[in-house]
Amino acid sequence: MTNMYHFWLRHDSALSEYELSQQTTLSHDLYRGMPTWFNAYYAHFQRRAVVSLLRRCGPLTGMRVLDVGCGTGRWSRLLASMDAHPVGVDIGMGALRLAAAQMDRGRFSAAALPHLGFADSVFDLVISVLVLQHVPRPQQQEAIAALARLLRPGGWFIACELVDPNDPAHHVFANPVETWRAMFKAAGLQQVAYAPCEYIPYVGLFQSVRDWLGRRRSSGVTRPDVSAVAATLQRRPALAWMLRIALMISYPFEYVASWLLPRRWARLGGFLFVKE
């Protein structure tokens, strides 16, 4: 896990070069180097899935919530707006600085799984969005068990992770739905609800273009290139507009797909678990 730990520290270090903005925060928390309109698409449907799961938890007022891998705080801000008391943890000091700058209340600290420094059974809810998929597979069960211990009995756990195990990115360790579910069950968590998203085939096209434009080396863990992809799209406005139009068209189709297509076709799975 050491290589991935240092990979994410390098990912975070690039934030020191940028001021607080929507582009900076979305680029850090989602797809590095892609323009805001691109990342906003993913943020929209991820938020839709997470909110649907949060509503199943009942009123969040006064709940103590652990936001794991909080990044620049997009979920902590959502939780605070719902009157919860979020505690965000991340390994990146740059991300934590931006998270704290955007919230009047909320607590943020630097920590890495599986040792976060909290007592057992102190949280009512744990939320992990696009975090566990970046933990190497041999350590995923340990990470999930460590988070489960922080929940009180009857507490909730929301996880939103990739369920396509064929993702080519070297820093992604996705699992099928059944594998994620089995690991959470082994940690004493029972699934209550499932909210899949990211059905549209455009997603694969965008990933291919992003990877093609942003590729720097064929293998190995490299320093994230913050601006290479965005700069290339700026130099190729026709390509940028083609992608943007396709993305705008895909908004309504994603809604329709979520209603009509089998859940197993989704690329991202939103899970709600309860601690026994």
Nearest CA to 44 out of 263, 255, 261 is that of 255
Residue scoring higher pLDDT (193 or 235): 193
Nearest CA to 127 out of 92, 156, 169, 91 is that of 156
- Looking at residue 224, what is its pLDDT? 38
Tell me the domain boundaries of the chain.
Answer: 2-275
- Looking at residue 226, what is its pLDDT? 38
Give pLDDT tens digits for 77-116. Answer: 999 999 999 999 999 888 888 888 888 877 999 999 999 9
- Looking at residue 89, what is its pLDDT? 96
Residues 31, 54: Cα–Cα separation, whole Å? 24
Residues 200, 72: Cα–Cα separation, whole Å? 27
Residue scoring higher pLDDT (206 or 250): 250
Asked if the model's pLDDT at residue 215 lies above 80, the reply is no
- Looking at residue 223, what is its pLDDT? 38
Quote the percentage of the chain above a pLDDT of 70: 77
- Classified as helix, coil or strand, 101 is helix
Nearest CA to 169 out of 114, 210, 200 is that of 210
Tell me the CATH number for domain 2-275.
3.40.50.150
Q: Which residues pair with 125 in a beta bridge?
A: 65, 156
- Looking at residue 182, what is its pLDDT? 98
Asked if the model's pLDDT at residue 161 lies above 70, the reply is yes
- The β-bridge relationship of strands 64-68 and 123-129 is parallel
Reported confidence tier of residue 247, pLDDT bands at 50, 70, 90: confident
Nearest CA to 151 out of 183, 188, 177, 194 is that of 188
Asked if the model's pLDDT at residue 61 lies above 90, the reply is yes
For residue 222, the surrounding DSSP H or E stretch is none
Residues 85, 77: Cα–Cα separation, whole Å? 10
- Looking at residue 19, what is its pLDDT? 59
Reported confidence tier of residue 237, pLDDT bands at 50, 70, 90: confident
- Classified as helix, coil or strand, 55 is helix
Least confident range from 117-121, 197-201, 212-216: namely: 212-216
Q: Which residues pair with 68 in a beta bridge?
A: 89, 128
- Looking at residue 200, what is its pLDDT? 74
**Mean model confidence pLDDT for the chain:** 84
Residues 172, 167: Cα–Cα separation, whole Å? 7
Give pLDDT tens digits for 2-15. Answer: 456 666 566 666 66
Residues 208, 124: Cα–Cα separation, whole Å? 39
Least confident range from 38-47, 132-141, 206-215: namely: 206-215
Give pLDDT tens digits for 190-202. Answer: 999 999 988 875 5
